[in-house]
A and B are shown apart, each in its own frame.
Chain A
């Protein structure tokens, strides 16, 4: 069965979130949101707080409530990206090589406070995945004595999935996505990482996952990320919608 790359990534994210109570998802994150809603199909009690929701936003105390919740340990999983991400899981959202980015948002707090953070950036290039970030918006690890509830769990890109090894402070390549042209992954990754002798392929979406994605999940996502839903599912919310392009074709 054909699938879109976004669908593959959403399925990976659903597995990475795992068995938790509360996922919060920041602005402009349709793929993490898709993964979370896919997971919710089998776990209806999973709470998903979409921060960018324009109507029916989950908070009543303004924009500080998310951080207060996280500070108390009420957010199990959060997602962060970065203009740069380095081999020690530091992220940079501020500036690099004379270029200015929007800024750090809540990353310097959420990376510590959420139970675990999934790093997600579709672009997999030496420009993004660097040896050392030019500016640490939020550090990937903290020295002993610094209170820190959570940290990185994994790094997912458009080409591969890395697991974070907290004790070694290094990424371990877990799998490469089928058809992603990742034969020379080290050539497009600016940092060094561990890898098994045989690198498995990322597990492909199952037919039942795809049915859920193209049915109920597409409906929910379409309400909050209409452009994304149109691009991936052609604006259709019906099961079996034809996929325009897919890396599994």
Chain B
């Protein structure tokens, strides 16, 4: 934690250049499907044959995890759920889980937030109410129950600080100063603050410095956290960017159907992932 840089944000050519910076074996913090996901980078990771990634769902995972798992890029996931929402179960995650080929650390949403918030503050752990008596506590390697030091006979659960190697997400805007704007999707800020490196693709580049704008500044993640950005118009597709474009529900349904079988998933990769999307 001591050697984190005061970043000068680098500007990369695109999603494939960005994907090359994410090392095999990295722990990658990712948002849920309703928050902007850097889907074009996810596809680029499959194209470059990324290996042994550990995915951290903040607090849950969806399409991006299912594609990376199906493509053999993932060794482990820690998450509160993997789901395609209205499109149903995440088929490649489910198949890998049932075949025992994927290490899964099950969590619950606020324990993941709490572990990241501990890292934001630079403290080793943070307590959270509830959860005690859940089998999650038995199986999770990093959760401990202590007695509240301020009251007798009051057990309380601790989340160990979580430090992802990489935060990866998509944003509506980046600016020339290297800040990115995520609006109300503040789980992205939590991931960015807690991670050793932060990679962001964006829809549009704004001239100047958004932090100089009182309206835009509160929705920004300061460049101090941002390692590198890259342009990727419609880079969240088939997921959405709130206020810009919505989730492509029809495509999600198509994916859910195709990915039911390993063969169908291969066809999906051929059609939508392995050939670079013209953008």
Assess whether B129 is in contact with A147, with CB atoms less than 8 Å apart.
yes
Report B155-205 residues with CB < 8 Å from chain A CB.
155-156, 184-190
Chain A, Cβ-Cβ closest to B117 = A64
Asked if A71 CB lies within 8 Å of chain B CBs, one says yes
Q: How far apart are the CA atoms of A82 and B60 in the complex, in Å? A: 17
Q: With A62-B187, A64-B113, A148-B130 as given contacts, are A99 and B135 in contact (CB-CB < 8 Å)?
A: no
Contact of A100 among B94, B109, B113 (CB under 8 A): B94
Please indicate the chain A residues that have their CB under 8 angstroms from the CB of B130 in the complex. Answer: 71, 108-113, 148
Q: How far apart are the CA atoms of A227 and B85 in the complex, in Å? A: 13
Contact of B59 among A93, A106, A135, A227 (CB under 8 A): A106
Q: How far apart are the CA atoms of A106 and B247 in the complex, in Å? A: 23
Assess whether A103 is in contact with B110, with CB atoms less than 8 Å apart.
no
Asked if A18 CB lies within 8 Å of chain B CBs, one says no
Please indicate the chain B residues that have their CB under 8 angstroms from the CB of A68 in the complex. Answer: 110
**Stretch among A136-144, A171-179, A238-246 lining the B interface:** A136-144
CB of B255 to closest CB in A, whole Å: 16
Asked if A57 CB lies within 8 Å of chain B CBs, one says yes
Chain A, Cβ-Cβ closest to B130 = A112
Between A and B, how many residue pairs show CB distances below 8 Å?
141
CB of A61 to closest CB in B, whole Å: 5
Asked if B232 CB lies within 8 Å of chain A CBs, one says no
Instruction: Name, among A67, A95, A102, A227, the residue most crowded by chain B CB atoms within 10 Å (CB to CB).
Output: A102
Chain A, Cβ-Cβ closest to B108 = A108
Assess whether A100 is in contact with B98, with CB atoms less than 8 Å apart.
yes
Asked if A98 CB lies within 8 Å of chain B CBs, one says yes
Assess whether B82 is in contact with A136, with CB atoms less than 8 Å apart.
no
Report B72-118 residues with CB < 8 Å from chain A CB.
79-83, 85-86, 89-90, 93-94, 97-98, 106-111, 113, 117
Q: How far apart are the CA atoms of A58 and B93 in the complex, in Å? A: 30
Q: Interface residues of A, CB < 8 Å — how many?
A: 47
CB of A199 to closest CB in B, whole Å: 31
Please indicate the chain A residues that have their CB under 8 angstroms from the CB of B109 in the complex. Answer: 63-64, 67, 105-106, 109
Q: With A63-B113, A105-B60 as given contacts, are A145 and B154 in contact (CB-CB < 8 Å)?
A: yes
- Sample 6 A-B pairs with CB under 8 A, ordered by A number: A27-B85, A71-B110, A71-B129, A100-B97, A139-B133, A148-B130
Chain B residues near A (Cβ < 8 Å): 32, 34-35, 58-60, 79-83, 85-86, 89-90, 93-94, 97-98, 106-111, 113, 117, 128-136, 153-156, 184-190, 240, 242-243, 246-247
Additional A-B contacts beyond A67-B113, A100-B93, A103-B106 (19; CB < 8 A): A52-B85, A54-B247, A64-B109, A64-B113, A102-B90, A103-B82, A103-B107, A104-B108, A105-B81, A109-B129, A112-B129, A136-B134, A137-B108, A137-B136, A138-B134, A142-B132, A142-B133, A146-B155, A147-B156
